[in-house]
Structure 1
Amino acid sequence: MWFRNARVFRFTKPFDISAEALEEKLQAEAFKPCGPQETSRQGWVPALGKHSDQLVHSANGYHLIALRKEEKILPGPVVKEAVEERAEAIEIEQGRKVRRKEKDELKEQIMLEMLPKAFSRNRRCFAYLAPQDGVLVVDAGSAKQAEDLASTLRKALGSLPVRPPVVEQAPAFTFTGWLNETVDLPATVSLGNECELKDPSEDGGVVRCKGLDLKADEIRNHLEAGMQVTKLALTWDDNVSFVLDEELGIRRLKFGETLQEQLDDVDADDAMAKFDAAFTIMTLELSRLIPGLLEALGGEDRSAIVEED
């Protein structure tokens, strides 16, 4: 159970929930397949998949959950062709022109007819709540997907006081400083070989660099021209590598050999035990990585966070 991405949300006030209470709340919003005339539906499914009926999997106070979304696939060209055929038949039969408004009505009718036979696309999005760390972590490649899960969870719980973390200085400023050496690179962080540079002007361009020495003259020339670093490949504590963007989105997470060896040392033959061990190792490592990264980026702005008494 390794996440491939990590979109972090910070709890803005003390929050705690037991696995049992979370299970009860999510059961009320459990996934149900699309009906014949529905285009999409989402709901909560067992975090362990076929290995358990429980929607929540907990270990060491971390609660793993999974949101499933089903979408009916109606290819646009197929729908368009059917509309044109139906409109042409009407024109021949009734000897009149089918106008745009009527074609729109035909399109809606045809889509309703096609939906019961349409193929479905299913996606699962994982996340875990870490009340003791004050964060919700979502395995999502985009901010929109992460926000969708957070909103759905908020609906299930009735309240979910979270927001993306905020740092004291702009991440792009820190990234750029690390490359042009005006900001010290923390000992726990090492540079990868990939970055994205943007010209901050209104019509500025974008340069994507991959497989390069990020301290090379080629990169430095772009920085001296005023470009800013908005994405940067990093390795944390020689254990975890990833690409971090200016919105603090962590993508392409890769857990290193040390952590993999810890998992290999677990004496467990069944899949559920291995899953549980991987989840525990991952959450413990991310519990170090997340605050460490926020500190490396200049420190977290906690002015809007209500601290525990």
Structure 2
Amino acid sequence: MFFRNLTLFRFSPAVADDLNRLDEALAEHRLRPCGPLEMGTKGFVPPVGRGEEAALTHAVKACTLVTVGSEDKLLPAAVINDELYRKVQKIADEEGRKVGGRERKRIKEDLLTELLPRAFVRTSRMSAYVDKKHGWLVLDTSSRKSAENALTQIREALGSFPAVPLAPEEGPRVLMTDWLANNNLPAGLTFGDECELKDPATATGAIARCRRQDLDSEEVKEHLRNGKQVFQLGLIFDERMSFVLGEDLILRKLKFLDVVMDELGDSQQDAAAEMDASFALLTLELERLLGKLEEWFGLPRPADS
């Protein structure tokens, strides 16, 4: 269950205290099946196990794992429009009249009522956890919109959850450009093999994307000398995990290296034990990394109001 991407929010110690009722709050917002005439539903599903009796949270020390789920009907607009056209054309051919806007709207609503119960249902899941000790909300997505939607679900369950986006004191783009241009990496970091460089002067400025390349090469340095800045940078932390860090401070392509995976082993006897061990290892490793991000970019934890 290792996360592949990290979108991050922060919350205060007082908010952390309120999270002690998370399990109880989520119980009233469990994901239910999509009804025949519903386009979709959202809610929470068990991180471990299935069924109504399975818990909606899984805690290891100060970290609590939740899973936000959704069911959405797949009913493409093109399908509806094709059916609508056929029905309108049939009326025109058989009755010799044009269909007005109000009648067309009613026909479309009738089509939705007819087609929705037969539409396929797409399910999705997103894992997230709260670190109450250090004030982090960590979501396994690289999409800011998806992260905000999941955060909204948590807020609705709790009534209030004032987690806020990261507000770095050090500009990520400027700092990462300095790292790459001057080989000025903080201790514990080494370069990966990819980056994205852009000319920030204009919205349509030149873009250079490097993959599987030595980032200390003269070619990369030339792009930097010509005024491009780092918007994404591949990094390796303590030889234990690799990722691509964006100027939005979203971590993409997160991968735990062999030295970490070897520590997990394969001695777990069941799914619950395996989840417990994986989540404990995940949160322990990310605790160290997030602490360093806080240090490098100046990411203060919100204070109690």
TM-score relative to the length of structure 2: 0.93
Deviation at 1:307, TM superposition (A): 5.5
Hey, what's the Cα distance between the residues in 2 that align with 1:202 and 1:123? 34
Hey, what's the Cα distance between the residues in 1 that align with 2:291 and 2:304? 16
Return closer, same or farther for 1:162/1:191 CA change in 2, 3 Å cut-off. same
Hey, what's the Cα distance between the residues in 2 that align with 1:261 and 1:195? 28
Deviation at 1:18, TM superposition (A): 7.8
1:159-178 mapped onto 2 (5 Å cutoff): 159-178=160-179
Aligned to 2:43: 43
Hey, what's the Cα distance between the residues in 2 that align with 1:141 and 1:192? 19
% identical equivalent positions: 39
5+ unaligned residues in a row in structure 2: which ranges? none
5+ unaligned residues in a row in structure 1: which ranges? none
Aligned to 1:288: 288
Deviation at 1:169, TM superposition (A): 1.8
Q: SS of the residue aligned with 1:127?
A: strand
Aligned to 1:186: 186
Hey, what's the Cα distance between the residues in 2 that align with 1:64 and 1:24? 14
Q: Deviations over 1:226-276 (max 9, x none)?
A: 111111111111101111111111111111112111110x63221211111
1:30 and 2:27 correspond:
no
Q: SS of the residue aligned with 1:16?
A: helix
* Runs (4+) off by over 6 Å: none
Deviation at 1:47, TM superposition (A): 1.1
After TM superposition, the structure 1 stretch with the greater mean CA deviation from structure 2, 203-212 or 123-132, is 203-212
Aligned to 1:71: 72
1:306 and 2:303 correspond:
yes
Deviation at 1:106, TM superposition (A): 2.9
Question: Is the contact made by 1:11 and 1:162 (CA closer than 8 Å) also made in structure 2?
Answer: yes
Aligned to 2:88: 87
Hey, what's the Cα distance between the residues in 2 that align with 1:198 and 1:187? 26
Question: Is the contact made by 1:13 and 1:161 (CA closer than 8 Å) also made in structure 2?
Answer: no
Hey, what's the Cα distance between the residues in 2 that align with 1:202 and 1:31? 41
Deviation at 1:105, TM superposition (A): 4.1
1:243-282 mapped onto 2 (5 Å cutoff): 243-264=244-265, 267-282=267-282
Aligned to 2:118: 117
After TM superposition, the structure 1 stretch with the greater mean CA deviation from structure 2, 90-99 or 153-162, is 90-99
Return closer, same or farther for 1:101/1:236 CA change in 2, 3 Å cut-off. farther
Hey, what's the Cα distance between the residues in 1 that align with 2:49 and 2:122? 17
Aligned to 2:2: 2
Hey, what's the Cα distance between the residues in 2 that align with 1:108 and 1:224? 59
Aligned to 1:212: 213
Q: SS of the residue aligned with 2:15?
A: coil
Hey, what's the Cα distance between the residues in 1 that align with 2:50 and 2:41? 20
Amino acid at match of 2:21: A
Q: SS of the residue aligned with 2:111?
A: helix
Amino acid at match of 1:6: L
